[in-house]
Structure 1
Amino acid sequence: MSPLPAIDVHAHVAVPEVDAFLEDQPGLARQRQVDAATLGPTSLRLNLQQMGDIGTKLTDLDLRLGAMDAARVDIQAVSAVPLPHAWADRDLAARIVAASNASVAAFCAKDPARLIPIGTVSLQHPDLAVGQLRSAVVDQGMRGVQISTSAGPGRELDDPRLAEFWAAAAQLDTAVLIHPWGCTLGERLNAYYLFNTVGNPAETALALSRVLFGGLLERHPTLRIWSAHGGGYLASYIVRADHAWAARADAHTTAEPPSALLRRTFVDSLVYTPGQLRHLVGVMGAGQVTLGSDYPFDMGVEDPVDRLEAAGLDAATTEAIRGGNAARLLGLARSGVDR
């Protein structure tokens, strides 16, 4: 029996249409100021250089397919580059999402056998986000949506105002992909690329912790939540959350401990080394880790399948991470991943 296709859940595409009409927006200028202060001048300069270097990889189909072939990846789930737009008002947010989702869908339609579109929503406007989610899944055939680690200042992922969004995601039986952008720790991260190496995993750990302790997965047991970069720092120290849950009334908010709830979520395999991947599988379970490359960024990897195989996991676990878990996450039929 031939193996399932290798499915990379973590890959990005640029959306020039959105970039063009955001360029003169005051909110974007303010976001860039915050990012620049958090990155620091050296990392900002290197980031700008990187975007110039990889720009064509973010838009060119042939380069992408060639990289996939070299990596032995059969299918990519493709989401927009995760730049935040929580500052956008309702009208602008609606334009951003409509243009982004149309662009991602059109790009993936160039090779629908190999590219799966992942949409976006304006989570800072929860009522809009519900409609955008339904449109992405029902009208555009997307297999999920990508969100940030919060819905903007003062609105975490467990905020009651997001209840209808999470209920809709559960009802539609679709994936929600959590992807960070930087960190709210601000200028404390302004050297050594701590913006990403500390900031991104810290933001993901915080977002997932709000999801777990907030009871979201107990209210919606079928909800499919995925997070980038191996779930950030949380999987490495979930035992501390379990201790708080057992020791303190203010943290005992769910019937199951945080580690059990974490194992209901999905993460990607982007943790770099064989030992770290084995640890991640031990924490999350063999059925909850998916392949992830973060194509085409420098904090990603060009050989996710090779790295998976280097971990020395048993054959069933390797096959699950290679493609079977992603097929479940994205609601793909197991027989040939028929879409």
Structure 2
Amino acid sequence: MSPPETRGAPETDGNPSGTPVVDFHGHLAVPAAAALVAGAPGFAAELAAEQRAHSPASMAVNRAQLDRLQPRLTKVSARLADLDAMGVDVQVVGPMPMHHYWTARASAVRLTRTVNEAVAAHCAEEPRRLYGLGTVPLQHPDLAVTALERAVTECGLHGVSVSTNVDGRELADPTHDPVWEAAEDLGAVVFVHPWGCSLGERLATRYLGNTVGQPVETTVALSHLIFTGVLDRFPRLKLVAAHGGGYLPTYIGRSDHAWRVRDDARGCAEPPSAYLRRMWFDSLVYTPRALRHLVEEVGADRVVLGTDHPFDMGVDDPLARLDAAGLAPADRAAVAGGNALHLLLKGRTR
């Protein structure tokens, strides 16, 4: 794969500014990685937790969807056809967010290498249009640092996707600080995308575990990163949140209020709302009003296009939804692709 800094930009019709339209939220299935964990006790426990968090009806729909979408989750030709239909020039492709943080050290190394090499190979088939994110074994921070460096410098990936907790441990736990430091040094993106919901059975009915639970997971994870001072310690961290950052931008005023009136809430140097402008958020908030509000809260320079391709909770008309928000032309161009390219290409040190 050619170094990302030297890639030529594709022709673009969807962004009047001439900047390519970039979808920051695409997924890749890696069957070889799934084979590595099949039959392991940790994977059985993971599946049992997933079953507790979903009704039998939802589990059946999920299984059928994965079978149906397999070509679009694995084949470059199918992915490019979808991008063309959406008017998207470039997609950031990350693994399905099953990071299997329960794996022991040797297994974690094999799993990580398999996933990252698969993402790199997939994107290398069309390097002008596909930019990759990998995974790291956050449960073993020392291994995660090495894996992140290899993902960027050897595999040509632009960063990694992480879940909202690490087998029950918060992303904000200080044990992960070396990983965030390495990400800063490399100029690597860290894309926060939940897998499941820790509320379990309470949201098992009517697909609430995803509909409500996943935004909750993102809200909690980002709040920990803010309130515990992680973003003070790592101000150059390129943190991107899926699904518009969950509910955090919508109700950030309550966080600011707590920070002002309670000493025990003041673990960060500035009001929590200040940190919204140190992160980036994808545009997958579904309605024009919600997108306008997101832009108002975090700034037009902090929002990137996101589709959640190719899943049913994603969208296949991202530009129409962006246009419906009625943003100023410069803001529309930034969200459509300018912000994403700045994130992906600027400040990479190797």
| Bucket of the pairwise TM-score, normalised by the shorter protein | over 0.9
Match of 1:103 among 118, 123, 138: 118
State the match for 1:261 in structure 2. 275
Establish whether residue 14 from structure 1 lines up as the match of residue 22 from structure 2: no
Match of 1:160 among 171, 174, 179: 174
Counterpart amino acid of residue 303 in structure 1: D
State the match for 1:320 in structure 2. 334
Establish whether residue 227 from structure 1 lines up as the match of residue 227 from structure 2: no
User: 1:254 and 1:188 mapped to 2: Cα distance?
Assistant: 31
Return the offset for 1:84.
3.6
What are the superposed Cα offsets for residues 132-175 of structure 1, whole Å, 9 maximum, x if unpaired?
0111111111111000101222x211111111111111111111
What are the superposed Cα offsets for residues 5-30 of structure 1, whole Å, 9 maximum, x if unpaired?
00101000110111112212111111
The correspondence of residues 31-42 of structure 1 with structure 2, limited to 5 A, is: 31-42=46-57
- Which consecutive residues of structure 2, in runs of 5 or more, have no partner in the other structure? 1-15
Establish whether residue 215 from structure 1 lines up as the match of residue 264 from structure 2: no
The correspondence of residues 76-91 of structure 1 with structure 2, limited to 5 A, is: 76-91=91-106
* Aligned-pair Cα RMSD in Å: 1.3
State the match for 1:180 in structure 2. 194
Return the offset for 1:269.
0.3
The correspondence of residues 5-84 of structure 1 with structure 2, limited to 5 A, is: 5-84=20-99
Return the offset for 1:81.
0.6
State the match for 2:9 in structure 1. none
Counterpart amino acid of residue 33 in structure 1: A
User: 2:249 and 2:111 mapped to 1: Cα distance?
Assistant: 33
What are the superposed Cα offsets for residues 18-74 of structure 1, whole Å, 9 maximum, x if unpaired?
111221211111100110111121111111111111111101211111110111100
Match of 2:266 among 252, 267, 274: 252
User: 1:63 and 1:163 mapped to 2: Cα distance?
Assistant: 38
User: 2:230 and 2:301 mapped to 1: Cα distance?
Assistant: 20
Establish whether residue 331 from structure 1 lines up as the match of residue 345 from structure 2: yes
Matched residue of 1:106: which SS?
Answer: helix
User: 2:36 and 2:176 mapped to 1: Cα distance?
Assistant: 27
Return the offset for 1:263.
1.6
User: 2:122 and 2:279 mapped to 1: Cα distance?
Assistant: 28
Residues 79 and 119, structure 1, Cα contact 8 Å, conserved in 2: yes
Residues 266 and 329, structure 1, Cα contact 8 Å, conserved in 2: no
Match of 1:115 among 124, 130, 134: 130
The correspondence of residues 120-199 of structure 1 with structure 2, limited to 5 A, is: 120-153=135-168, 155-199=169-213
- Which consecutive residues of structure 1, in runs of 5 or more, have no partner in the other structure? 334-339
What are the superposed Cα offsets for residues 203-241 of structure 1, whole Å, 9 maximum, x if unpaired?
000000011111111112111100100001111101110
User: 2:271 and 2:147 mapped to 1: Cα distance?
Assistant: 33
Corresponding pairs, count: 333
Counterpart amino acid of residue 266 in structure 2: H
Counterpart amino acid of residue 107 in structure 1: H
Over 3 Å off, 4+ runs: none
Residue range with higher mean Cα deviation, 59-68 or 126-135: 59-68
Return the offset for 1:2.
4.7
Establish whether residue 204 from structure 1 lines up as the match of residue 218 from structure 2: yes
Match of 1:236 among 236, 250, 253: 250
User: 2:313 and 2:323 mapped to 1: Cα distance?
Assistant: 20
Residues 126 and 164, structure 1, Cα contact 8 Å, conserved in 2: yes
User: 1:328 and 1:243 mapped to 2: Cα distance?
Assistant: 33
Residues 174 and 331, structure 1, Cα contact 8 Å, conserved in 2: no
Residues 235 and 283, structure 1, Cα contact 8 Å, conserved in 2: yes
Matched residue of 2:300: which SS?
Answer: coil
User: 1:243 and 1:330 mapped to 2: Cα distance?
Assistant: 34
Return the offset for 1:100.
0.3
Matched residue of 2:345: which SS?
Answer: coil
User: 1:7 and 1:214 mapped to 2: Cα distance?
Assistant: 32
What are the superposed Cα offsets for residues 64-104 of structure 1, whole Å, 9 maximum, x if unpaired?
11110111100000001111401111111111100000001
Counterpart amino acid of residue 176 in structure 2: L
